[in-house]
């Protein structure tokens, strides 16, 4: 007959703090260090593992998913190839932030070049060759800056020729202000991701 009191512990067992008794060794608990793997190790699941859609590249990031990366709403970002067209071989596309940075470089680099024997077109040309194949937006802005600085160079030659009839001095000063003002405007525009077209530009490069 039960009296409502717990049974006395067997010899060799101790009563744990909080009531109840500890189970005998090996009853329901993993051995120290965990369970060893089965003999021969763990095999791959039937059929093996499949790579994610688009696959992985070597160290340096993932490949683009089919159709490229799209902006919210499903429209591709400016400068990205449309769905169905692959990226240039071996080159990853520029992100929107990188596109803005390189577009700004295309316009601002002419400021440095203008002091190097009037080579303002050199900077945009370098950006065009370096990043033009990775972004349509960067290419368009580099070409625009290149054409503008070529045009300014042509106008400058004409202005220096007219220096001999005095009016050339005014033309050189006005041309410099014109070039600097619109270079700054173009830089601000592309920093916001907006395309820009210079006025009074002879578009020799396409």
**Dihedral (Cα; 152, 206, 75, 53), 10-degree rounding:** -120
Report d(CA 59, CA 95) in Å as an integer. 19
Return the pLDDT at 20: 55
Return the pLDDT at 81: 41
What mean pLDDT value characterizes the chain?
Answer: 75
The answer to whether the predicted template modeling score (pTM) of the entire model surpasses 0.75 is no
Q: What is the pLDDT of residues 56-67, one digit of tens each?
A: 444 444 444 444
For residue 112, what pLDDT band results from cuts at 50, 70 and 90? confident
Return the pLDDT at 57: 47
pLDDT at 8 exceeding the cut of 70: no
Return the pLDDT at 19: 53
Backbone torsions φ then ψ of 71, nearest 5 degrees:
-75, 165
Report d(CA 50, CA 43) in Å as an integer. 15
Q: What's the rounded mean pLDDT across residues 157-164?
A: 90
Return the pLDDT at 129: 95
Say how many Å lie between the first and final Cα of the chain, rounded: 103
pLDDT at 101 exceeding the cut of 90: yes
For residue 84, what pLDDT band results from cuts at 50, 70 and 90? very low
Q: When comparing pLDDT for 1 and 36, which is higher?
A: 36
For residue 163, what pLDDT band results from cuts at 50, 70 and 90? confident
Return the pLDDT at 82: 41
Q: What's the rounded mean pLDDT across residues 156-164?
A: 90
Return the pLDDT at 64: 46
> How many CB atoms are located within 10 Å of the residue 101 CB?
16
């Amino acid at each position: 007959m039960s009296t409502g009191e717990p049974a006395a512990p067997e010899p060799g067992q101790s009563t744990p703090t909080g009531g109840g008794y500890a189970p005998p060794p090996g009853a329901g608990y993993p051995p120290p260090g965990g369970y060893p793997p089965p003999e021969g190790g763990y095999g791959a699941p039937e059929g093996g593992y499949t790579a994610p859609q688009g696959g992985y590249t070597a160290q340096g990031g993932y490949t683009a998913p089919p159709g490229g990366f799209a902006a919210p709403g499903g429209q591709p970002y400016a400068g990205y190839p449309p769905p169905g067209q692959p990226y240039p071989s071996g080159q990853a596309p520029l992100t929107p932030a990188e596109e803005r940075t390189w577009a700004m470089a295309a316009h601002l680099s002419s400021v440095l070049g203008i002091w190097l024997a009037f080579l303002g077109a050199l900077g945009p040309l370098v950006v065009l060759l370096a990043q033009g194949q990775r972004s349509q937006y960067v290419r368009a802005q580099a070409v625009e800056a290149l054409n503008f600085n070529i045009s300014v160079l042509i106008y400058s030659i004409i202005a220096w020729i007219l220096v001999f009839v005095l009016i050339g001095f005014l033309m050189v000063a006005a041309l410099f202000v014109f070039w600097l003002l619109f270079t700054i405007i173009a830089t601000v525009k592309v920093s916001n991701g907006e395309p820009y077209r210079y006025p009074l530009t002879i578009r020799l490069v396409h």
